[in-house]
Chain A
Amino acid sequence: MIGLSHYLIVSAIIFSIGLVGVLRRRNLLMLFFATEVMLNAVNIAFAAISHYYNDLTGQMFAFFIIAIAASEVAVGLGILIVLYKKHGSLDLDDLATMRG
Chain B
Amino acid sequence: MYETVAFYLFSVLTIGLFLITVMSKNVLYAMTSLAAGMVLISGFFFILGADFLGVVQLVAYVGAIMALYAFAMMFFDATRDIKEKNTSNALVFLLGGMSALVLVLMFSAPIYSENIAALYPMHEGVGNAQDVGIVLFTKYLIPFEVAALMLLVAMIAGIILAGKKMDESLTEDMDADDEIMTVKDEK
Contact = CB atoms under 8 A, between A and B. Distances in A.
Contact of B96 (A6, A19, A73, A91): A19
Interface string B146-182: 0100110111011111101100001000000000000
Contacts of A95: none
Interface residues of B, number: 81
A51 B48 contact: yes
Interface residues of A, number: 68
B72 A80 contact: yes
Interface string B67-87: 011001101100000101110
Contacts of B162: 77-78, 81-82
Contacts of A30: 27, 30, 82
A84 B121 contact: no
A10 B22 contact: no
B75 A2 contact: no
Interface string B2-14: 0110010001001
B36 interface: no
B48 A19 contact: no
28 contacts: A2-B4, A4-B111, A18-B18, A18-B22, A19-B96, A27-B84, A29-B73, A30-B82, A33-B31, A33-B69, A36-B38, A37-B34, A44-B45, A48-B48, A55-B118, A55-B119, A57-B119, A59-B50, A60-B120, A60-B136, A63-B56, A64-B147, A69-B61, A69-B65, A73-B65, A78-B159, A78-B161, A85-B170
Interface of B: 3-4, 7, 11, 14-15, 18-19, 21-22, 27, 30-31, 34, 37-38, 41, 44-45, 48-50, 52-53, 56-57, 60-61, 64-65, 68-69, 72-73, 75-76, 82, 84-86, 89, 92-93, 95-97, 99-101, 103-104, 108, 111, 116, 118-122, 131-132, 135-136, 139-140, 143, 147, 150-151, 153-155, 157-162, 164-165, 170
